[in-house]
Amino acid sequence: MELTRASGILLHPTSFPGPHGMGDLGEAAFQFVDFLVAAKQSLWQVLPLGPTGYGDSPYASFSSFAGNPLLINLTKLIEAGDLSAGELAEIPPFPVDTIDFGWVIHWKIPLLERAARNFLAGASAERRADFEAFCAEHAGWLDDFALFMAVKEQYDRQAAAENVFGAMWSNYWAKDIALRRPAALKRWRQEQAEAIAVKKVLQYYFFQQWTAVKEYANGQGIRIIGDIPIFVAPDSVDVWANRELFFLDKEGQPTVVAGVPPDYFSETGQLWGNPLYNWKKMAAQDYQWWIERIQATLRLVDIIRIDHFRGFEAYWEVPFGEDTAINGRWVKAPGMELFETIEKELGTLPILAEDLGVITPEVEALRDHFKFPGMKILQFAFDSKEAGGLDATNKFLPHNHGRNAVVYTGTHDNDTTKGWYRERTPEEKDLVRRYLARPDDDIVWDFIRLAIASVARLAIIPFQDALNLDSDARMNTPSVLGGNWAWRYRSEALNPWVANRLSELVDLYGRDPALWQKKAEEEAKALRQAQDETKAEAK
């Protein structure tokens, strides 16, 4: 992928301010885009946009294709006539700086479903036709998704009444619907017709609102970087509707699951528990599921970051039922064939490779063959654990960056730079100060400057770092349950001082794409003039 030098901000829409308990796709989304423009940023990176479940992680979605209905803005549904203003007259006293997901879900989902039922009962012919066109366009995933969610809600209520925890389609549903027997599918579609229609309307709302935000951003010169995990959640329509594409037993339970091997950070490794792809079956179908997944994601975003890219070269396979990842093994994956097939169908892929962790020469070769930019994390450059020591050869240090890369101060899985620096050892802090040739009185903005100054073509700054926030603004702490994904900013955070400081760095280090476009046009014009003069002299 050819990259123009640019920079941007990492911020998930749930972090927007607003009165309804969590960020959504209302006015705050457009105000954030305006802030990006004022700051001369040209990229906006988000986390996965799919519907979330237990743990509220965007990386554990019920679908790889659907949108998160919690991101739907309720005020816009009033404007559309699907809710009345009175229905939002009493808004709970939600916290301002964080998200109480349980509270939001309990309050918001009934309102969304009421709006959807009102739409189904009274939408104009024009809106109804638009909805039907949406359903037809997305039928390949929407029909199964709506059915899955309708059935899941029924069984989740039953499981709650019986105090059953961890209920999923594969271990709790009746076998006829779990295994998608035709008679059961037909019966459930009939019995849950209204619930299925409501689920489809909610997706229609999400896609309408997200498309409006994306078109506004693109119109302002902002490209959106999306994110997809390599693996899918076990309790997802992706697995339920495509059992043959995963290593499952005849009951639908995984036979092997994903993880990462033991390393310096964990003697037992990490047991993720995601079902693993049956790559032979996927190859027999010309990787159609992956083609459709990438294609669907590119309708929502302009560039895709793929999480755990190394899993396309080889992945850590753990037998199902193990308590840890110790007894796993490396298994080769068909990454080269997969991406060649996708590119043959879709053209050059605008993909960023999350190439962190155990990266071998084979993984680097796969990444470089397709010219996918890799990631450079500045915090890792000065972290003796991540780096395996502190020396000048650390690949995350700016002087070792390549051009075909994207540099971050940190990611959603890192502490904020302010919080991270506070926890460094004296040795690590000394290296930071010596490398910067500065005291550490403005460490966060020094890191932002390092990132934007890097030769890496793209630089992404988590919004928490731009706001110079401490650890309480951290988005996610891996392997820690609870308290993640909940940070929000207040509207006053979009202040001119921050925008101006970012803008100055963009100008100083040449990260305005318009600058490079103008330079290329001038060089092309000069070349044409020289060619014309040469032709004239020849005559």
Helix-, strand-, coil-residue percentages of the chain, each rounded to 5: 50, 10, 40
Residue type, 16: F
The answer to whether 413 is a known catalytic residue is yes
Q: In 10 A of CB 157, how many CB atoms? A: 10
Supply the pLDDT for residue 385. 74
Q: In 10 A of CB 422, how many CB atoms? A: 13
Burial of 121 (0-12, 13-18, 19+ CB in 10 A): exposed
Residue type, 174: A
Supply the pLDDT for residue 251. 93
Which residue out of 354, 383, 446, 465 is catalytically annotated?
A: 354
Supply the pLDDT for residue 507. 97
Tokens coding 31: 């105000």
Q: Sign (positive/negative) of CA torsion 349, 350, 355, 356?
A: negative
> Terminus-to-terminus CA distance in the chain, angstroms?
41
The answer to whether 345 is a known catalytic residue is no
Residues 6+ apart with CB under 8 A from 502: 7, 39, 40, 41, 448, 461, 466
Q: What are phi and psi of 422, to 5 degrees?
A: -60, -30
What distance in Å separates the CA atoms of residue 127 and residue 115, rounded to the nearest whole number?
A: 14
Supply the pLDDT for residue 139. 98
> Could you tell me which residues are beta bridge partners of residue 9?
44, 461
User: DSSP letters of 172-230?
Assistant: TS-HHHHTT-HHHHHHHHHHTHHHHHHHHHHHHHHHHHHHHHHHHHHHTTPEEEEEEES
Q: Are 425 and 479 in contact (CB under 8 A)?
A: no
Supply the pLDDT for residue 524. 84
What distance in Å separates the CA atoms of residue 51 and residue 170, rounded to the nearest whole number?
A: 19
Establish how many alpha carbons lie within 13 A of residue 497's alpha carbon, considering only the half-sphere containing its beta carbon.
6
What does the domain layout of the chain look like in residue ranges?
6-373+457-508
Supply the pLDDT for residue 528. 87
| CA 432 vs CA 381, 406, 412, 450: distances in Å | 9, 21, 22, 11
User: DSSP letters of 297-331?
Assistant: HHHH-SEEEEETGGGGTEEEEEETT-SSSTT-EEE
The candidate with the shortest Cα–Cα distance to 408, out of 398, 418, 400, 399, is 398
Supply the pLDDT for residue 263. 82
| CA 114 vs CA 386, 418, 432: distances in Å | 49, 43, 55
Supply the pLDDT for residue 465. 99
What distance in Å separates the CA atoms of residue 7 and residue 43, rounded to the nearest whole number?
A: 6
Supply the pLDDT for residue 448. 99
Reported pTM: 0.95
Tokens coding 135: 């359903």
What distance in Å separates the CA atoms of residue 472 and residue 415, rounded to the nearest whole number?
A: 9
Tokens coding 108: 């918001």
Cα angle 483-214-409, degrees, rounded to a multiple of 5: 50
CA of residue 411 relative to chain centroid, distance: 11
H/E stretch holding 44 reads strand 43-45
The answer to whether 130 is a known catalytic residue is no
pLDDT tens by residue, the chain, 539 residues:
778 999 999 999 999 999 999 999 999 999 999 999 999 999 999 999 999 988 999 999 999 999 999 999 999 999 999 999 999 999 999 999 999 999 999 999 999 999 999 999 999 999 999 999 999 999 999 999 999 999 999 999 999 999 999 999 999 999 999 999 999 999 999 999 999 999 999 999 999 999 999 999 999 999 999 999 999 999 999 999 999 999 999 999 999 999 999 987 788 999 999 999 999 999 999 999 999 999 999 999 999 999 999 999 999 999 999 999 999 999 999 999 999 999 999 999 999 999 998 899 999 999 999 999 999 999 999 988 766 667 899 999 999 999 999 999 999 999 999 999 999 999 999 999 999 999 999 999 999 999 999 999 999 999 999 999 999 999 999 888 889 999 999 999 999 999 999 999 999 999 998 888 888 788 888 888 888 888 888 87
DSSP state of 75: H
Supply the pLDDT for residue 16. 99
Sheet holding 270-275, edge to edge: 270-275, 256-260, 314-319, 329-332
CATH of 6-373+457-508, one of 3.20.20.80, 1.10.10.10, 3.40.1390.10, 3.30.470.20: 3.20.20.80
What distance in Å separates the CA atoms of residue 343 and residue 425, rounded to the nearest whole number?
A: 45
Tokens coding 193: 């017709």
In Å, the largest CA–CA distance within the chain is 92
Burial of 437 (0-12, 13-18, 19+ CB in 10 A): exposed
Supply the pLDDT for residue 390. 78
Alpha-carbon Rg for the chain in angstroms: 24
